[in-house]
């Protein structure tokens, strides 16, 4: 498994093997227990023949270098964001998922869904359930969204059910509100016109060309073309054709003892809804190779300070279409989360590749 990192610093000093071993043991203990680690505990965990006084001196040096800090006087130490970064970049041992674990994830993804949005929701729920963190999946971003077929079905109260088939395999259903009541025959005629003229064309081009031609001839539109115009204006709204990403498991964050600041949680939940800050981060990850790990302020968004984000891109036919990942406290089990995110990205890519064939 390959994964790359967002480096927090290029000027970290060289630490000898003993110091790195003690830092690794301390971070692992803190991730496991969530309590400041004292010298006696660290001496037991490290398995080195060192006195508590020697270990205290090493911990003090690591604190001076910015890798640890002491939350209370005479208390043990906890890792800083810089300490986590060194741990992840140089000291973390990742155990790949075994075949049985991978197969269980594959089975959870291999469920009948109608479109990529449903698949993204399925995967985000799976990521959240496995990691007990918030799972996020960016929906596939395609430069071209091709119209394959459209149908209009009349509902009550001037509503119309639109069935869109895109990119050979993706089905989208939506309900639009029309200005007047349309008969089933009128809607069939409008759908027939659109399918005959625009099947195989890019959605954006369809909308632009159709609306331009129809508006240019606005004074001479017959009843059929008036119907086509209204259906097209609402059916091919670009912000309806694609979503950005789906999130699952936000409530897990409320159960993390490290994330007890309700104001910060509220700001993060608002960011999930407003999306712009997280989309900026995900856009960076679209061009990355392998798993990316952002610790606190490395994410470049104030709302993510105090959190870690682990992401991986997924591909279809060799092209990166989106990013998935998890958001959780900085004190997370990286050795577990990283392979889960990595394997899930590969499984999602495999599922989308099957659809594309």
CATH of the domain at 127: 3.30.450.40
Q: Are residues 163 and 213 in the same domain?
A: yes
How high is the pLDDT of residue 337? Answer: 96
Q: How big is the CA angle at 11 (ends 10 and 16), to the nearest 5 degrees?
A: 110
Residue 285 located in a structural domain: yes
167: left (phi over 0), alpha (psi -120 to 50) or beta: left
Average pLDDT by consecutive 10-residue portion of the chain (357 residues)?
45 79 94 90 87 90 93 81 93 92 92 81 93 90 74 89 80 85 89 87 74 57 71 65 72 77 77 73 81 89 86 86 91 95 93 69
Q: Report yes or no: 343 and 310 within 8 Å, Cβ to Cβ.
A: no
What tokens does 123 get? Answer: 């995967």
How high is the pLDDT of residue 241? Answer: 44
Domain of residue 134 covers 99-141+244-356
Q: How big is the CA angle at 203 (ends 202 and 206), to the nearest 5 degrees?
A: 85
Q: Are residues 166 and 313 in the same domain?
A: no
Whole-model pTM? Answer: 0.70
Residue 130 CA: distances (Å) to CA of 4, 9, 113, 245, 304: 22, 31, 20, 19, 22
Q: Are residues 123 and 262 in the same domain?
A: yes
Burial of residue 69 (CB within 10 Å: 0-12, 13-18, 19+) is: middle
Residue 105: closest CA among 138, 69, 131, 133: 131
Residue where a domain stops, chosen among 73, 91, 109: 91
Rounded to the nearest 5 percent, the helix, strand and coil shares of the chain are 50, 20, 30
Report the CATH number at residue 87. 1.10.10.10
Number of domains in the chain: 3
Q: Using CA atoms of 96, 102, 104, 106 in order, give the dihedral in degrees to the nearest 10.
A: 150
Q: Which long-range contacts (CB under 8 A, 24 or more apart) does 103-106 make?
A: 105/130, 105/340, 105/343, 105/344, 105/347, 106/347
Residue where a domain stops, chosen among 199, 214, 241: 241
Q: Are residues 151 and 233 in the same domain?
A: yes
How high is the pLDDT of residue 6? Answer: 46
How high is the pLDDT of residue 5? Answer: 45
Q: Are residues 106 and 64 in the same domain?
A: no
Burial 221-234 (b: 16+ CB within 10 A, else e): eeeebbbbbbbbee
Q: Are residues 83 and 176 in the same domain?
A: no
Residue 1 located in a structural domain: no
DSSP SS3 for 130: helix
């Amino acid at each position: 498994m390959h994964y790359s990192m967002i480096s927090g610093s290029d000027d970290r000093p060289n630490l000898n093997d003993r110091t790195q071993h003690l830092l690794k043991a301390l971070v692992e203990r803190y991730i496991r227990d969530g309590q400041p680690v004292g010298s006696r505990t660290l001496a037991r965990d490290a398995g080195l023949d060192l006195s508590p006084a020697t270990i205290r001196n090493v911990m003090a040096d690591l604190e001076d270098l910015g890798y640890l800090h002491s939350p209370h006087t005479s208390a043990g130490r906890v890792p800083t964001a810089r300490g986590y970064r060194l741990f992840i970049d140089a000291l973390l041992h990742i155990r790949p998922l075994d075949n049985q674990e991978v197969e269980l994830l594959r089975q959870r993804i291999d469920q009948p869904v109608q479109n990529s949005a449903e698949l993204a929701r399925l995967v985000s729920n799976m990521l959240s359930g496995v990691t007990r963190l918030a799972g996020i999946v960016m929906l596939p971003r395609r430069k071209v969204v091709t119209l394959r077929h459209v149908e209009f079905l009349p509902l009550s109260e001037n509503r119309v059910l639109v069935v869109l088939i895109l990119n050979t395999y993706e089905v989208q259903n939506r309900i639009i509100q029309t200005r007047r009541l349309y008969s089933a025959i009128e809607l069939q005629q409008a759908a027939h016109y659109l399918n005959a003229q625009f099947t195989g064309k890019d959605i954006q081009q369809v909308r632009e060309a159709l609306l331009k031609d129809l508006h240019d001839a606005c004074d001479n539109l017959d009843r059929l073309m008036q119907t086509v115009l209204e259906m097209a204006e609402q059916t091919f709204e670009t912000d309806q054709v694609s979503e950005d990403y789906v999130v699952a498991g936000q409530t897990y964050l409320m159960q993390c003892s490290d994330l007890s600041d309700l104001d910060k949680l509220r700001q993060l939940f608002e960011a999930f809804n407003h999306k712009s800050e997280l989309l900026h981060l995900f856009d960076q990850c679209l061009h990355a190779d392998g798993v990316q790990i952002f610790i606190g302020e490395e994410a470049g968004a104030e709302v993510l300070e105090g959190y870690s984000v682990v992401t991986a891109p997924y591909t279809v036919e060799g092209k990166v279409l989106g990013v998935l990942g998890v958001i959780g406290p900085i004190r997370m089990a990286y050795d577990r989360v990283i392979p889960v995110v990595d394997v899930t990205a590969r499984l999602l890519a495999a599922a989308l590749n099957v659809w594309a064939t």
